[in-house]
Structure 1
């Protein structure tokens, strides 16, 4: 039996993902209003989404999941650059070195699935995940390549979701003052964003301390602070989802097609639509485009299409994972 509360949470988060990408492409981070809105979204949406991914992780299916995400990643890693090349006339051949834009999440899911399979067999999986996440900041390499930075920076949220997700979710649902707490958390995150004017590169989680031009101590403290705020943001998202009851369940059931396919919508529209209105109007237009995109892509036909697409690799490897 599906958990409608979890579906509502996923629906809220996938909408924030789509809204954030429309804001980035159509407006950007340069306006104070869009910077503030984007930063608040980025503090919360991917950490919370990854937390839920960890919560739903089933270790007995880890090989099947790795193959499934690989089966989607490979074709989309060619499809997105090909789609972009329709306008640029240039095909991006750095396919192996850098996952295309939103596809880092598929690569990360492959890695988180494999890492968590072994981490949960240890005595302190969460502590090890946090240690690895902090350690990647010291990397002398370009952490953007192969999505190394994001894989390890966001790893703790996946592991915490797997180890403690159910207990955290149940506690929030039973908490009497969840709504007031959520409001307080968002005000806190908003205040931090306004006061610090934080760079989006900290929230992407894709760069090392050296690339972010800070020393190891400052970098470690900033990243730790982001972890704390993002963790509180996860609590706030669940609290809001509890308030929404069982609304938007269909969208929550079909987040994968929305995630993968909205990229084509955002890229295509950004090539033809230019916003030159007041910033408030531009934000509202992004909001409407996000709602429309989610409404269309939530339909089961797109999920079925992705499942069929994955069969090119799932079928030949069935004997490996189906045992």
Structure 2
């Protein structure tokens, strides 16, 4: 029993380390995006990050869905659903107002049915939570989710509405993360295969840098097959190939993440604040024209990556959690409050 608890504790520490590295990569990708049209190096790194960082984050969310499972053993947490819904409504409103008055980004649809920028993840996360109990009743939930991820590419409308395309495209990784405890001793595998993973990752990045033809729209997961320029009935097979490429890159990344508790673990506990707040700062910098002077010189890439790391560390500071946690993660239980309101006393009065 103690061995099992130790293994679970090690896995939890490892996942927390993964979270911090991933959120640093999220900020890095968003920091690089304004200059990818002017820098081949930035574009290569951008595609390399996008190849695995969304699937990896979805996998982590799937793992945490099991960790936060209600005490009664059910797979449905009303509080988790309510908090995610609250965060989506709150930040969709805040980002929309900020865009309308300050950012003025092009191509933005101001609607609660069209998630603003990175907020698609909240919308999809809410859907993954709702879909999970249904899929876990299936005999092969992972296979079913992969087939659905391929099928959603054939819908005849914009896949960005309600983040429907990304929800189903990335859902297989959520299922995989939820079943993560069944994967055996990953720590031993990481120690044994880390060198190979580094080499494989280097090959993938080199291939991207040498011009591997890969439309980043496939990596975003937000576009349908027709939007990606594929109209043939068999085009869904391309999504299966992207799944294989993403799984390979994701595996390489996971094998390279350290398992020991460190400062990464402490920072990894506050990734939510980085995720929800960093967009305001980067979009404000874009609106202020701070990226306009970066013309794609080689030294601009490490400058942007350093700025991304500094921003990640600042927003991971305990002071941010202290002042932001109360309104970003409110402590309420909607089901408990509902039950208390409708509870009936023994004398028959409410």
Residues 19 and 278 of structure 1, relative CA distance in 2, 3 Å threshold: same
Q: 1:33 aligns with which of 31, 34, 41?
A: 41
CA deviation map 1:7-31 (0-9, x unaligned):
1111111110000000013x13453
Partners of 2:294 and 2:151 in 1: CA distance: 43
Shift of 1:82: 1.4
Residue in 1 that maps onto 2:307: 289
**1:182–1:240 CA contact under 8 A, matched in 2:** yes
- TM, length-normalised to structure 2: 0.83
Cα shift at 1:320: 5.3
Deviation, 1:94, is: 2.7
1: CA distance, partners of 2:190 / 2:105: 53
Number of aligned residue pairs: 320
Counterpart in the other structure of 1:81: 96
Instruction: Find the aligned partners of 2:57 and 2:301 in 1 and give their Cα distance.
Output: 23
Q: Spell out, residue by residue over 1:223-245, the C-alpha distance to the aligned partner (whole angstroms, 9 max, x if none).
A: 11221121122222222212776
Mapped to 2, the partners of 1:196 and 1:122 lie a distance apart of: 37
The CA RMSD over aligned residues, in Å, is: 2.6
Task: Report if the CA contact (8 A) 1:72-1:309 is conserved.
Answer: no
The structure that is helix-richer by fraction is 1
1:103 to 119, 123, 141: 119
Using structure 1 for the length normalisation, give the TM-score: 0.89
Structure 1: unaligned runs, 5 residues or longer: none
Q: Distance in 2 between matches of 1:204 and 1:84?
A: 22
Residue in structure 2 matching 1:170, options 169, 178, 185: 185
Moved more, 298-307 or 220-229: 298-307
Residue 176 of structure 1: how far off its partner (Å): 3.9
1:177 Cα offset (Å): 2.9
**Residue 144 of structure 1: how far off its partner (Å):** 1.4
For residue 270 of structure 2, what is the aligned residue in structure 1?
A: 254
Q: Is the 8 A contact 2:27 2:308 kept in 1?
A: yes
Q: What is the CA–CA distance in structure 1 between the aligned matches of 2:104 and 2:52, rounded to whole Å?
A: 36
Q: 2:82 aligns with which of 59, 63, 67?
A: 67
Instruction: Report the counterpart of residue 12 of structure 1 in structure 2.
Output: 21
What is the CA–CA distance in structure 1 between the aligned matches of 2:98 and 2:184, rounded to whole Å? 39
| Per-residue deviation, residues 182-227 of structure 1 (Å, max 9, x unmatched) | 2133134224434433111111000111111113456323211221
What CA deviation, in whole Å up to 9, does each residue of 1:264-310 have, x standing for no partner? 11111222313335532211111111111111110233334444225
Q: Return 5+ residue gaps in structure 2 as ranges.
A: 1-8, 71-75, 341-350
